[in-house]
Chain A
Amino acid sequence: MSSEVDRQHILDLLPFWVNGTLSEDEQDMVEAAMAQDPSLRQEAEMLSLVRTTMQQQPDGESPGELGLARLRRDIEDSPQKVVEGRSRTRRYMLSFSGGLAAAFALIAVIGNFRVSEDVYELASSNNDTANIVVMFRADVTQASMASLLQRHELVIVDGPSAIGLYRLSPLDPGADLTQLAGTLRLETDVFESVDLP
């Protein structure tokens, strides 16, 4: 190195050489300095070890799809700062069918029913018709839920309702919902129920 100042400059850049974020010029400068000064190379190796060790630490389980479902529910009550020409969010009541209707009636009978959107109304997506209403099994893992949703290109657009219902919507607006619902019904390890509104 030509001076201590230059060496200090290289030492400052070394962590960013290790994480690969330097510009091409800076990278060339650091590599030229390391070629002349083995202690800089050693320093880089040490920093690389620290970085590797840090990145190998477990991440902890993030909220995943459940967090996304919560987010989708919360944004219904969080207006955007600049909204021009956006369709107004509408809310609608889910229509229930088959076993779900029966389950709902049972809830009414045992006294938990009240005519309130908090109980059985889910906030809608912009496309009310492109939805499948499901209930996940109690023992389903977040990982298997996420995997299934991604495999079928589905997103949770609403839920959970008070009785644990979620509404799923396909990313492809042209998807055949009836066929998709049929496919999902075969996923008995994941879903307790699958219904079309």
Chain B
Amino acid sequence: MNDADLKALIHRIGTGDKIALDALYRQMEKPLYRFINIKLNDPFLSADILQEVFLDVWKGAAAFEGRSAVKTWMFSIAYRKVIDVFRKNARLTIADDLPEQLDEAPSAMAQITAAEEADHLRACLAQLKPDHRDAIEFAFYEDMSYREIAEVTSVPEGTVKTRIFHAKKLLLHCLQGRMNTKVAS
């Protein structure tokens, strides 16, 4: 379903069409839930947040002007709600201060066996600063463009690129450390 189709659904939802809400739910529920649950790692809380997102869409659909893509709009709502959860719970993050000097040699990734890749990657993603992690997750989980990520996270496009650049470097640094691999600089 492309953005024009999604916008047509939002328009119908704005007039109180519940069948259109069903269709939007079926289209967007899984990617939104995945995004939320990756952040919160709590299926029950994630289901509640997902519910709130769709309720916000239901209540706000008539006011949606269509200036952004529907997907971007909905992820923006979800993103803000996740940030609110983090603020309320004062969740701590670690490792914003990993050393920056590292090589970008792809061989570090190549040496990771298939069975270990996911575990190592998950552990290393968890160590990123939230801003960096968000950016790379939007890019690689959700396949968003840098323009879309900028809109969802309300930062300039240049900032998105910078965050992903640093996230990539830090990920490699972490992966190299976990694999105890010496990579030539």
Which A positions have Cβ atoms within 8 angstroms of B?
11-13, 15-16, 18-22, 42-43, 45-47, 49-51, 53-57, 59-64, 67-68, 70-72, 74-75, 78-83, 85-87, 125-126, 155, 157, 171
Q: Do B29 and A75 have beta carbons less than 8 Å apart? A: no
Instruction: Please name 23 pairs of A and B residues whose Cβ atoms are closer than 8 Å in the assembled complex, sorted by A.
Output: A12-B161, A15-B164, A16-B139, A19-B139, A21-B146, A43-B106, A46-B109, A47-B140, A49-B117, A50-B109, A54-B141, A57-B118, A57-B122, A61-B43, A64-B29, A68-B25, A72-B22, A78-B55, A80-B58, A81-B63, A82-B14, A87-B16, A155-B22
Query: Which residue of the partner chain, among A11, A45, A62, A125, contacts B34 with CB atoms under 8 Å?
Result: A62
Nearest residue, chain A, Cβ from B162: A12
Query: Which residue of the partner chain, among B43, B51, B106, B146, contacts A60 with CB atoms under 8 Å?
Result: B43
Interface residues of B, count at CB 8 A:
54
Residues of B within 8 A of A81 (CB): 59-60, 62-63
Contact with A along B125-146 (1 / 0, CB 8 A): 1000000000011011101111
Residues of B within 8 A of A18 (CB): 140
Residues of A within 8 A of B75 (CB): none
Which B positions have Cβ atoms within 8 angstroms of A?
14-16, 18-19, 21-22, 25-26, 29-30, 33-34, 37, 43, 47, 50-51, 54-55, 58-63, 104-106, 108-110, 117-118, 121-122, 125, 136-137, 139-141, 143-146, 148, 161-162, 164-165, 168, 171-172
